[in-house]
Amino acid sequence: MDQPDQTIHQPVRLKIMAALKPLPDGAQIEFVKLKDLVGATDGNLGAHVTTLEDAGYIDVEKDFAGKKPRTRVRLSRKGRRAFEDYVAYLRDIIDLPREEP
């Protein structure tokens, strides 16, 4: 990778990806919790979530909890690989050894 992934490189999107990465495969986080973790407004987070979803990096599920609308987000396999590549790119820049899986 010559350049960082510009989709992930934006600070709020980087925070979103970093918040989702530690979750087990397929695990979801609610929009409200993600908003608190990344410190974004509803509209700002929504726009960045849409960008990541359009790139195929996250999956968004909308449903209802009782009568209340709920949005949940999870890292896709493509997103997990993209984030791992992004972190590897950063490690290469500062010449840190890579973690073994």
pLDDT digits (tens, 9 = 90+) for 47-78: 999 999 999 999 999 999 899 999 999 999 99
CA 12 to centroid of chain Cα atoms: 9
pLDDT higher at 2 or 86: 86
Domains of the chain as residue ranges with CATH: 6-93 (1.10.10.10)
pLDDT value, residue 71: 95
Predicted model pTM: 0.88
Q: Rounded to whole angstroms, how far apart are CA atoms 20 and 2?
A: 25
Predicted confidence (pLDDT) at residue 20 exceeds the cutoff of 90 = yes
pLDDT digits (tens, 9 = 90+) for 70-97: 999 999 999 999 999 999 999 888 876 6
pLDDT higher at 98 or 15: 15
Q: Rounded to whole angstroms, how far apart are CA atoms 27 and 43?
A: 23
